[in-house]
Every structure is written in C-alpha cells, then in structure tokens.
Amino acid sequence: MFISSAFAQTAPEAVASGGFMSQLTGMLPLVLMFVVLYFVMIRPQMKRQKDHRNMVEALAKGDEVATAGGIIGRVTRLSEQFLHIEIASGVEIQIQRSAVVQVLPKDTLK
C-alpha cells in the first residue's frame, strides 16, 4: 500500500481540527478580490451611471450639448426619449436622450 496505516488513521483527526480554518483561509483571497473589485470598478461605474441619468433628466430647452458622436448643438425640443438639437442655423436633428454625453457651458456655441 502507498499510505501507511498509522498515517491513514490520523488523517481524519488532523483535517477535523483545522478543516474550518483552512477552508476560511482558502476563501479569504477570493472574498478580498471581490471586495476590491467592487470598490475599484463596480461602485464608480454605478456612480457615473447615476450622474449621467440625472444630467439627461435635467436637460432643458436652450441647453448646449455634446453627443456621443461628437455633434454639438442647442436643444430646441424635448420629448420622453428624444431631443431635437439645432446644429446649424435652420438645421435640426433628432437624437436619443442617452446619446448626450455632456452639457456645455452657456454661450459655447456662437
């Protein structure tokens, strides 16, 4: 046999005495990695989403905005899910509210 009878008889007793602590110690790095991942990646992303949602809800007629596609214009009309922005004199386009990435300071467009 590969295992001596003396070692085989004492193995369950050794595992039972330190089994819980060894399992806890083995799971500790996994728990710590999840905690670090939460504070480094998940929590800041949720904050950015909340800030973007608040910015989009606060849009008003006359605000100057920049879109995800790089288009800059002035909001002329608002609806539930869409905005109409004027990008040049007499040129108006319709975009989704979620496409707005930034509200520009007043008088950016002249």
The pLDDT tens digits of the residues spanning 3-35 come to 666 555 555 554 555 678 888 888 999 999 999
Q: How confident is the model at residue 57 (pLDDT cuts 50, 70, 90)?
A: very high
Q: What one-letter code names the amino acid at 51?
A: D
What's the CATH code of the domain at 99? 2.30.30
Please give the single-letter amino acid code of residue 6.
Answer: A
Residue of 85 and 4 predicted with greater confidence: 85
Q: Which two tokens stand for residue 29?
A: 């790095």
Residue 97 belongs to a domain: yes
Same domain, 70 and 37: no
Residue 109 counted as domain residue: no
Q: Residue 39 has which token pair?
A: 């504070």
Q: Residue 26 sits in which domain range?
A: 1-58
Find all residues with CB under 8 Å of 74, minimum gap 6, and list them: 62, 63, 64, 65, 85, 86, 109
Looking at the structure, do residues 73 and 94 belong to the same domain, yes or no?
Answer: yes
Please tell me the total count of domains within the chain: 2
Higher pLDDT, 50 or 9: 50
**Strand (E) or helix (H) holding 84:** strand 82-88
In a domain, 31, yes or no: yes
Average model confidence (pLDDT) across the chain: 87
User: Residues 53, 69: one domain?
Assistant: no
